[in-house]
């Protein structure tokens, strides 16, 4: 177990690790690439097969030990998968489309790249994971996510140990891609639970290829390959995603589904944003880099 840290110790260690923190805050210490050689995984969510039954959401709630909510109204800290439903007018009539929404597990995730505390990382397997033990709930990840995926739970988490210092507000939660199951060689809970086989799971390359093959076969569309500079979640639809996004907008639904959603890390604005948070966040990040390193030492000495 990691040992708790005192406020005094936190500040002391912060000062000694400013350089590391500044690098993290400026977006330089961004994602962990697939250095271990682990196979990257991905998903295809086939909207032509999804009937909106919500079993995937329930399976996710069960898997994560959340209170069971059969009718979630959006993404929350206790609901990582939300199934949206829209009606789209097409030349062949009105079509109901159901859209399971969750973290896209971006290839170069802005949420991880701009996390001031460097505790949100891209794993070698592909899922982007927030370390809930250290997250301070600063919400930067939500602000820079093209879909606003991470959700804040207030009043919980590590920041409570630092009170009354103004370090955070709670913990950010989102889909972790069932990283524990993936590492055990199993499919995520939502995949296994879907009675329609609407969520496919496999290597990222195989899933990307399958999404495009499937879209070509139905003269349809793929979402998630280009968006945010690339993700490991590929939606396939028979109706254009621009029409889906427009319908979501009319219904006031979140998350939206903008075609060609941008990644703030890939533009001038994104870098400006990174620099903007660096002066303050660098101090915080430094403290956490030091804390994580030193508590690791504690573990090793136990
Ligand atoms: S979808 Fe949002 S929360 Fe998920 S990895 Fe991409 S930027 Fe991060
Ligand atoms: S991959 Fe796991 S955590 Fe993510 S939505 Fe599916 S069941 Fe939930
Ligand atoms: S379980 Fe399958 S069919 Fe049901 S809502 Fe989820 S993806 Fe759609």
Asked whether 237 and 217 are in contact (CB, 8 A), the reply is no
In this prediction the pTM is 0.81
Tokens in use for 110?
Answer: 């802005």
Which residue's C-alpha comes closest to atom 4 of ligand 3?
53
- Give the mean pLDDT per block of 10 residues along the chain (302 residues): 38 34 30 52 98 98 98 97 96 95 97 88 97 90 96 85 74 97 97 98 98 98 98 98 98 97 82 50 45 43 36
Query: What pLDDT shows up at residue 279?
Result: 37
Return all residues near 268 (Cβ < 8 A) that are at least 6 apart: none
Asked whether 67 and 87 are in contact (CB, 8 A), the reply is no
Kindly state whether residue 236 falls inside one of the protein's structural domains: no
Residues with CB under 6 A from ligand 3: 50-56, 83, 98, 100, 193-194, 196, 198-199
d(CA 270, ligand 1 centre) in Å:
15
Domains identified in the chain, total number:
1
Which residue's C-alpha comes closest to atom 8 of ligand 2?
60
Kindly state whether residue 8 falls inside one of the protein's structural domains: no
Kindly state whether residue 289 falls inside one of the protein's structural domains: no
The CB of 106 under 6 Å from ligand 1? The reply is: yes
Query: What pLDDT shows up at residue 118?
Result: 83
Asked whether 41 and 126 are in contact (CB, 8 A), the reply is yes
Kindly state whether residue 231 falls inside one of the protein's structural domains: no
Query: What pLDDT shows up at residue 20?
Result: 32
Query: What pLDDT shows up at residue 168?
Result: 72
Asked whether 159 and 137 are in contact (CB, 8 A), the reply is yes
The CB of 265 under 6 Å from ligand 1? The reply is: no
How many Cβ atoms sit within 10 Å of the Cβ of residue 300?
A: 7
Kindly state whether residue 70 falls inside one of the protein's structural domains: yes
The CB of 147 under 6 Å from ligand 1? The reply is: yes
Return all residues near 217 (Cβ < 8 A) that are at least 6 apart: none
Kindly state whether residue 105 falls inside one of the protein's structural domains: yes
Give the mutation target among 61, 190, 193 for probing the ligand 2 site: most ligand atoms within 8 A of CB.
190
d(CA 59, ligand 2 centre) in Å:
8
Distance between CA atoms of residues 64 and 90, nearest Å: 38
DSSP category for residue 81: -
Ligand nearest to the CA of 78: 2
Give the mutation target among 45, 68, 77, 81 for probing the ligand 2 site: most ligand atoms within 8 A of CB.
81
CA 12 from centroid of its chain's CA atoms:
32
Kindly state whether residue 250 falls inside one of the protein's structural domains: yes
d(CA 176, ligand 1 centre) in Å:
10
Kindly state whether residue 4 falls inside one of the protein's structural domains: no
The CATH number linked to 191 is: 3.30.70.20
Give the mutation target among 55, 79, 191 for probing the ligand 3 site: most ligand atoms within 8 A of CB.
55
Q: Which residues constitute the domain of residue 162?
A: 31-40+51-195+246-266
């Amino acid at each position: 177990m990691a040992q708790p840290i005192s406020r005094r110790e936190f500040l002391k260690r912060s000062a000694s690790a400013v350089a590391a923190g500044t690098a993290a805050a400026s977006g330089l210490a961004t994602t962990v690439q697939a250095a271990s050689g682990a196979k990257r995984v991905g998903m295809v969510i086939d909207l032509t097969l999804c009937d909106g039954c919500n079993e995937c959401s329930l399976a996710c709630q069960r898997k994560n030990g959340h209170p069971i909510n059969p009718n979630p109204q959006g993404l929350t800290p206790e609901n990582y998968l939300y199934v949206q439903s829209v009606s789209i007018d097409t030349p062949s009539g009105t079509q109901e489309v159901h859209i399971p929404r969750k973290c896209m597990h971006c290839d170069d995730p802005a949420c991880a790249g701009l996390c001031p505390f460097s505790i949100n990382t891209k794993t070698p397997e592909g899922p982007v994971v927030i370390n809930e033990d250290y997250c301070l709930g600063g919400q930067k990840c939500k602000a820079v996510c093209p879909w606003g995926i991470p959700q804040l739970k207030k009043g919980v988490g590590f920041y409570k140990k630092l009170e009354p210092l103004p370090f955070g507000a709670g913990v950010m939660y989102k889909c972790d891609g069932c990283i524990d199951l993936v590492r055990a060689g199993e499919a995520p809970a939502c995949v296994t639970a879907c009675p329609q086989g609407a969520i496919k799971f496999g290597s990222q390359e195989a899933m990307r290829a399958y999404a495009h093959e499937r879209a070509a076969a139905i003269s349809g569309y793929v979402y998630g390959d280009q968006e945010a500079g690339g993700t490991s979640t590929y939606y396939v639809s028979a109706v254009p995603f621009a029409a889906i996004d427009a319908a979501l907008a009319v219904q006031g639904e979140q998350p939206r589904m903008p075609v060609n959603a941008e990644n703030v890390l890939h533009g001038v604005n994104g870098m400006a944003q990174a620099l903007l948070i660096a002066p303050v966040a660098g101090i915080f990040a430094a403290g956490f880099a030091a804390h994580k390193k030193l508590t690791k030492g504690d573990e090793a000495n136990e």
